Amino acid sequence: MVKRIASKLVTLLAAGLFVFAAGKLIHIGYDYWKNQRVLEEAQELYWSRESKDSGKAHAGSNEEAGENEEQRASFDQLHEVNTDIVGWLAIGGTVIDYPVLQGEDNDYYLNRNFKREQTRAGSIFMDYRNDPMSLGRHTILYGHRMKDGSMFSDLTSFTDESFFSNPPDMYIDTVTDQYDIEVFAAYYTDTRFYYIETDFESDQAFASF
C-alpha cells in the first residue's frame, strides 16, 4: 500500500515537473516570437520612411536634440512610439537591422523592447553616457546574444577570419547623420578589462586604451 502511494506521488511529481518545464518552454518560445514581430514592426516604420526620403535629413522639431537640430525623416514614425530611439544599426549578411535605444541608465533596455514592453531579448541600446547627437570616439552599443539568433548573436561571425576579412556593408543611422562602419578588431573579453570606458582624459589615455 505504501509503495503504491509512493509510486503515485513520484508519477504526479514527474508529471508536474513536465508540465512546468513545458510551460516555461512555451513561454520562452512565445517571447521569441513576439520579439520578432515587434522588431518587424520597427523595421516597417523605419524603412517605409527611409525608402521615401533616401536617408536625407529634413528640418524637423526634436525637443531632445534641440530646436536647431535637423532630424532624419526616417525616425519620425519611430519617435511617435518612443523618443528614446537614437539610431538605427544595420549590418549586411546578418539579421542585425534594429533600432538603437538609449535610457537614463544601462539597465532599462536590458529587458525592454522599443515599445518599452518587458521582453527577454531587450533592445540594442547605447551607453547612457554617450552623446547620440555627436558620436564620440568610443560609442558603446549593448545587446543580448539570443539563442534564437536574434539581437547581437551574429556579431560572433566577426571572430571567423573569412567573415572578418570580407565584412558586409554596415552603418549606423542617427537622427542627424549616417555613419559607415569599418571593423578593425573583434575580441572576447570579461569584466576584468573595463571595456566600457567612455571618457578619456587625453589622447594618450585613449591610445593606451
pLDDT tens readout for residues 71-92: 678 899 999 999 999 999 999 9
Q: How far is CA 182 from CA 58, 94, 143, 166, 171, in A?
A: 27, 15, 19, 11, 9
Cell of 207: 591610445
Hunting for cell 594618450 — which residue is that?
Answer: 204
Higher per-residue pLDDT: 179 or 19: 179
Closest alpha carbon to 76 in 53, 109, 93, 108? 53
CA gap 123, 146 in Å, rounded: 11
- pLDDT tens by residue, 21-49: 555 545 556 677 788 899 999 999 998 87
Domains along the sequence of the chain with CATH: 2-208 (2.40.260.10)
Inform me whether the pLDDT recorded for 12 exceeds 80. Answer: no
Q: What mean pLDDT do residues 169-175 have?
A: 93
| Residue tagged 521569441 (cell numbers) | 32
85 bridge partner residues: 101
Are 112 and 122 contacting, i.e. CB atoms less than 8 angstroms apart? yes
Q: Check residues 7 and 109 and name the one with the higher pLDDT.
A: 109
The string of DSSP codes covering 31-62 is: HHHHHHHHHHHHHHHHHHHHHHHTT-EEE---
> Cell triple for residue 48?
517605409
Percent of the chain with pLDDT over 70: 75
What is the pLDDT at residue 193? 86
